[in-house]
Amino acid sequence: MPKSESAPLPKSFYITTLGCPKNTVDSMSMHQSLLKEGLLPANGPEASDFHLVNTCTFIQEATKETIQTILDSIDVKKKRKQKLVVVGCFAERAGKEISEDLPEVDLHFGTGKYEQAGAILRKAFPLDFQDAKEFNEDLIERLQISTQIENYSKPYSYVKISDGCNRGCSFCIIPNLRGRYRDAEASDVIQETKKAIRAGAKEICLVSQDTVFYGKDTDRLLDLVRSVASIQDLSLLRLLYLYPDKKTERLLDLYAELPNIAPYLESPLQHVSSSVLKSMNRSGDYSYFKHLYEKARALKPGLEIRTSFILGFPGETTADVEEIIRFIQDVKPEKVNLFPYSPQEGTKGFDLPGQIKDKEISKRVNLVREAYLEVLKDIHQQRIGKVYEAIVDDVTEEGATVRRFQDAPEIDEVVFVEDQSLKVGQFGKVQIDSFFEFDMSGTWVS
């Protein structure tokens, strides 16, 4: 009697994630959807049968990175028989161009379908999927916490509380790509948070396009933050993407109330000139932003601020740029991100008069950056010798990468410690010994 052939091994997948932490959350939704369809995670794009690229197209630089990543992925595909799938914002915006100009891309789909990724791939490539779709929840849970899997292999995790945006900022393409604002159910946020903690996360970062819009004019956001903060075994809660308005002021009261909220305010101003902000269709001004930041620091001792500015918006004058510089020198935000304005077709700002040449925009960005770096040197000097609460993010043969509570994962500075005995996820304290331009070196003291 001939020996029966063994069943073929399941196909594998790998997700390359571009852009911000919100995309990381979307990739995790795709990840679980693909697991449920019987696919297994690969260690890298070269080892996968399905390579999914989760794209970003927020500004021109992000679009360039996305296109280059797709081209690099096409080169990988040529070396291996695999399917290349382009997903997310760029696919939403340029689906027609992908179909016409990139025939090597086997499939593309836009935003809002991340949780359906597995079903979409099964329908498009039925021969690559095994007939049996049964799966074991415990197995999926173990796969999700594999050290090879993005997000769950780290001591922190992102949980998204909404999608889309209603602000209508005249420079921003996000509403065109993500649609109108949609709250997540509070019960879903709690469930995702508990799942991440079970998988080993000690720090939870709540993210969205516009976090403070959650619940609109109600107290639902405050209630949600209190509920998440009270979850057992959650050590640190970080709130990201807080639009600088009155609702953020109300939220700041929780910083004093809840001890496990990180001493960190991430609130992108984009500008401080009243005229430019009005043209951007944003609220606020220099004095209000200064008041907001002063309140945050008063309510949460040791709090540090991260913000961003867009330079070169149509109609911006040199006096407007000088106002940003004065604000940085006056208020001294610890972390500043600078973006050159890039016109996005489909936004209200695309056809505004007073467009500024790229060379001049670069000059303005460099001018503000130089002013900020001078402020940052003074901030660094004041950190030397201080001891901060911290978490260990990574350990190698060369030492450990440690992050103060004042720094968000992946986007802010880190502290390098020559101590291989530390464990990932370990909490303790670090003393700052010296600094580089942004990052620091220090000594683990507990």
Last-in-domain residue among 383, 406, 429: 383
Q: How many CB atoms lie within 10 A of CB 363?
A: 15
Q: Per mean pLDDT, which range of 83-97, 121-135, 161-175 is the poorest? A: 121-135
Q: At residue 429, does pLDDT exceed 70?
A: yes
Mean pLDDT of 91-95: 90
CATH of the domain at 95: 3.40.50.12160
Range of the domain at 344: 145-383
Q: At residue 319, does pLDDT exceed 80?
A: yes
392 and 374 in a single domain? The answer is no
8: confidence class by pLDDT, cuts 50, 70, 90: low
Q: Per mean pLDDT, which range of 142-156, 180-194, 298-312 is the poorest? A: 142-156
> What's the pLDDT tens digit per position in 233-276?
999 999 999 999 999 999 999 999 999 999 999 999 999 999 99
Structure tokens at 379: 């901030």
Residue 143: predicted pLDDT: 52
250-274 residues labelled b (16+ CB within 10 A) or e (exposed): ebbebbeeeebbbbbbbbbbbbbbb
196 and 58 in a single domain? The answer is no
186 and 301 in a single domain? The answer is yes
Task: Determine whether the annotation assigns residue 89 to a binding site.
Answer: yes
108 and 234 in a single domain? The answer is no
21: confidence class by pLDDT, cuts 50, 70, 90: confident
Mean pLDDT of 395-414: 95
Residue 149: predicted pLDDT: 44
Mean pLDDT of 70-93: 91
Contact (Cβ atoms closer than 8 angstroms) between residue 154 and residue 69: no
Number of separate domains in the chain: 3
pTM for the complete prediction?
0.84
State how far the Cα of 39 lies from the Cα of 15, in Å rounded to an integer.
12
Q: With 0-12 CB in 10 A as exposed, 13-18 as middle and 19+ as buried, what is 388?
A: buried
158 and 133 in a single domain? The answer is no
Distances (CA, A) of 245 to 25, 154, 297: 26, 32, 16
Across the chain, what does the average pLDDT equal? 90
Position 157 in a domain: yes
131 and 158 in a single domain? The answer is no
Task: Determine whether the annotation assigns residue 165 to a binding site.
Answer: yes
393 and 377 in a single domain? The answer is no
Residue 135: predicted pLDDT: 52
Task: Determine whether the annotation assigns residue 169 to a binding site.
Answer: yes
Torsion of CA 162, 168, 170, 174, to 10 degrees: 30
Contact (Cβ atoms closer than 8 angstroms) between residue 314 and residue 355: yes
DSSP secondary structure string for all residues of 251-320 = HHHHHHH-TTB-SEEE---B---HHHHHHTT----HHHHHHHHHHHHHHSTT-EEEEEEEE--TT--HHH
346 and 413 in a single domain? The answer is no
Q: Higher confidence at residue 70 or residue 59? A: 70
Query: What percentage of residues in the chain have a pLDDT greater than 70?
Result: 93
Position 4 in a domain: no
Q: At residue 375, does pLDDT exceed 90?
A: yes
> What's the pLDDT tens digit per position in 38-50?
888 888 899 899 9
Task: Determine whether the annotation assigns residue 172 to a binding site.
Answer: yes
287 and 365 in a single domain? The answer is yes
* DSSP β-ladder status, 335-340 and 387-396: unpaired
318 and 170 in a single domain? The answer is yes
State how far the Cα of 401 lies from the Cα of 91, in Å rounded to an integer.
35
> What's the pLDDT tens digit per position in 119-160?
999 999 988 887 644 555 555 554 554 433 444 458 999 999
CATH of the domain at 346: 3.80.30.20
375 and 337 in a single domain? The answer is yes
Residue 323: predicted pLDDT: 98
Mean pLDDT of 74-78: 90
Residue 146: predicted pLDDT: 42
Position 124 in a domain: yes
Q: At residue 7, does pLDDT exceed 70?
A: no
Q: At residue 84, does pLDDT exceed 80?
A: yes
CATH of the domain at 421: 2.40.50.140
From the CA atom positions of the chain, what is the Rg in Å? 23
